[in-house]
Structure 1
Amino acid sequence: MTTTTDATDTDTVPAPARRIDLRDKAPDFYAAMAALDKAAAHGLDPAVRELVRVRVSQLNGCAYCVDKHSADARALGITEQKLHGVTVWRETPFFTARERAALALAEAVTHLGDHGVPDAAFDEAARLFDADEFPRLLAMCVTMNAWNRIGVSCRMSPAVRA
């Protein structure tokens, strides 16, 4: 017996309606966030920057940011294999020591436990990133968490690509 429906395998389910557009309703705040993001990114390795943005966004469940920063990572030449491996980075051979340290710090900053960021994650990243880049890495972790709170709270959704 065959069941037919009106839906096809190519139909997508619409995202929940956006709650508010902060760029429109609070442009000064949005501009300040953009400036914060630009300052955090200044001098940070672009590949590390995008890997951190993707991982933090995955952890926070921000579909808009995962989509946006995955596309940005691809534009930098980060492979699909590496992007797919971000969710399981500890179990893959795709990441450098610096990328691993950045991802560990990003996870620790995102999942602040009762005791904050563990010394091991902080110290390893501080050891592998120089005195100029490490503060930018930490700032990117903080900034991306803030962006994700905006995206999730406002119900920002990625566009469907053909």
Structure 2
Amino acid sequence: MTNNAQTHTDRTYAPESPARMQWHQLAPEVYKAMVALEIASRKGLDPVLLELVKIRASQLNHCAFCLDMHTKDAIAAGETVERIVQLGAWEESRHFYTEKELAALEFTEAVTLLTEGFVPDEVYARAAKHFEEAELAQLMAAIVTINAWNRFAVTTRAVPGHYTPGMFKH
């Protein structure tokens, strides 16, 4: 009996089609400004928490390119695969995360899903309980920044599967 199916270990991840455009080449000043925003928004935030936030926002925005990037960066920063896998159901998997991480994830969802209503006062209050005001401002900036990156990647259909951690030094 012959099995023609490929296993996950020998798959090649060739994109079915290339990205719609290389926006960073066509709008280089915007790209440079985004990179500067990225660098500024990271200041003072725990790198692992930052990657959890980026992964969660990218899940909500269905951004495969950013999911590829930030799951790899999270693992490189010491995050566990188990916690990354549980992010999609963090509310049912609360025991995997600290109270501070839970507050950040809840805040991420509220800021990302603005079309479902404003950021509720109780969500903001929980985040403010775990983050000093300047750190909360940085967290908000990081959430806004990943949402912007997600929108560029989703709109241009950036192709996931080829990112190597550390490829983009910010």
TM-score, scaled to structure 1: 0.90
Whole-angstrom CA distance in 1 between matches of 2:81 and 2:35: 27
How far residue 80 of structure 1 moved from its aligned partner, in angstroms, is 0.6
Ranges of 4+ aligned residues in structure 1 off by more than 4 Å: 2-5
Counterpart of 2:31 in structure 1 is: 30
Match of 1:152 among 151, 154, 157: 154
How far residue 113 of structure 1 moved from its aligned partner, in angstroms, is 3.4
Match of 1:113 among 112, 115, 125: 115
Counterpart of 2:130 in structure 1 is: 128
- Trace 1:70-109 onto structure 2 (pairs within 5 A): 70-92=71-93, 93-109=95-111
Whole-angstrom CA distance in 2 between matches of 1:66 and 1:131: 28
Structure 2: gaps spanning 5 or more residues: 164-170
Q: Is the 8 A contact 1:16 1:155 kept in 2?
A: no
Q: Secondary structure at the match of 1:90?
A: coil
Counterpart of 1:43 in structure 2 is: 44
Q: Number of residue pairs matched?
A: 159
Q: Identity of paired residues, percent?
A: 42
Q: Is the 8 A contact 2:13 2:161 kept in 1?
A: no
Q: Supply the RMSD in Å over aligned alpha carbons.
A: 2.0
> What amino acid sits opposite 1:30 in the alignment?
Y
Counterpart of 1:52 in structure 2 is: 53
Match of 1:143 among 134, 145, 159: 145
Cα deviation digits, residues 58-111 of structure 1 (max 9, x gap):
110110100100011001110010010111111111100010000001111111
How far residue 11 of structure 1 moved from its aligned partner, in angstroms, is 5.8
Stretch moving more, 133-142 or 10-19: 10-19
How far residue 22 of structure 1 moved from its aligned partner, in angstroms, is 1.6
